[in-house]
Amino acid sequence: MARQWGAWEANYYFMLGFGVLIGGAIINYFGFAFMFVTMGVLSLASAVYFLPKEVLKPRFNE
């Protein structure tokens, strides 16, 4: 149990560091506006993907 927890913690911190490096590189090369728009598009895409289909269907028969 302790070994699994330790492996999970190590993986978490390595991925966090990797994400910071990638995000810093993107901001350095493309600028903050690009990162801001990219994160907005990804958030919108995930919201559309995970919303129930009933919410997204137009309601013409009401």
Digit-coded pLDDT (tens) for 5-62: 888 999 999 999 999 999 999 999 999 999 999 999 999 999 888 877 766 676 665 5
Ranges of H-type helices in the chain: 2-30, 32-50, 53-56
Quickly state the pLDDT bin for 1 (edges 50, 70, 90): confident
In this predicted structure, what is the pLDDT of residue 43?
Answer: 93
Length of the chain: 62
Q: Contact, 26 vs 34, CB < 8 A?
A: yes
